[in-house]
Structure 1
């Protein structure tokens, strides 16, 4: 089973958030150690040696997944509480912090003066679209807060997809839960005062 400490939250600073490669690498690593390998993590919880070997199990080829044994409920609950939910919460904390950074003013924006200069030049430009229909095109450079906000929006969509998939597999292997992943995570947060 994956170690939850391998996905500990990095030091949350605006510098971390604005380094989009580092932010994406953290999210990718966290997802790969827990969610992308969810089947392996769940298989590690199943210990067939407790039931003993049944020689008749090899007489017939097992092709359907309904023949899978349900994993011990205590092991499943421990995995969900200690590994899965804590990993999801860490990623949520990082995304929420960086979303706050993206919506805050950025006094240290290195491209602020360049964007202001380009904007002033654009206001002074005279455009005759009859002579050059493409001359009206102006693509101002995006502020790094806007770029970060777009990245956070995209990563939240990815999180939703990954968590739905992981929760579906957990329910399939651990016995179905009537809760959605959002409800289960919120219940876990209430228990852990997060």
Structure 2
């Protein structure tokens, strides 16, 4: 089974380091979600059927491994030990960093620079007849605004990836007709609960 990366220590510094944040999400998704077909194929153990099935000789070509159903116990263990913990660790990071993005940032290194630029823009005399571009002013986003935008994007990406992964899991394992949100919430309340 795949080993998911260790969740990072959650600090505002980690969230504002967008490279580290994106790397964690990318590696976590790559370990489980991007390789879901391979992970599911690894759950199929060849030759585990206890008896010979005579109807297997009537098929011209055996069903490929990627279409074979997987043992319910193996599927359950994979979801419980690999899939849901990976999703939960990413959810924890996204929720924490979204909270940091909505909090005041007293340590913003560019705060003073932005204030000076905003003051200069207010004092500027604009005569668009002489210079049509003189009114252009593009204020720089604060760290928290940039982080909030990144969190919105990453949550959308996460939802798409989980939906795709859950669909592939549902093709090979029984997911009980539930959506991934419902299954993850059930796991949280049950054995993996927090």
TM-score (norm 1): 0.91
Matches within 5 A, 1:54-133: 60-61=60-61, 68-133=67-132
Total equivalences in the alignment: 191
What is the match of residue 138 of structure 1? 137
- Gaps (5+ residues) in structure 1? none
2:47 counterpart SS class:
helix
Deviation at 1:51, TM superposition (A): 2.2
Q: Write 1 or 2 for the structure with the bigger share of helix.
A: 1
Deviations 1:26-51 (A, max 9, x none): 00000000000000100011112212
Deviations 1:47-76 (A, max 9, x none): 1221278896697345889x9321000000
> Are residues 13 and 58 of structure 1, via their aligned partners in 2, closer, same or farther at CA, if it must alter by over 3 Å?
farther
What is the match of residue 13 of structure 1? 11
Q: Distance in 1 between matches of 2:109 and 2:53?
A: 67
TM-score (norm 2): 0.91
What value does the CA root-mean-square deviation take over the aligned residues?
2.2
What is the match of residue 42 of structure 2? 44
1:10 counterpart SS class:
coil
Q: Distance in 2 between matches of 1:179 and 1:73?
A: 16
Match of 2:25 among 24, 27, 32: 27
Deviation at 1:177, TM superposition (A): 2.2
> Are residues 190 and 60 of structure 1, via their aligned partners in 2, closer, same or farther at CA, if it must alter by over 3 Å?
same
Q: Distance in 2 between matches of 1:186 and 1:57?
A: 43
Q: Distance in 2 between matches of 1:164 and 1:57?
A: 37
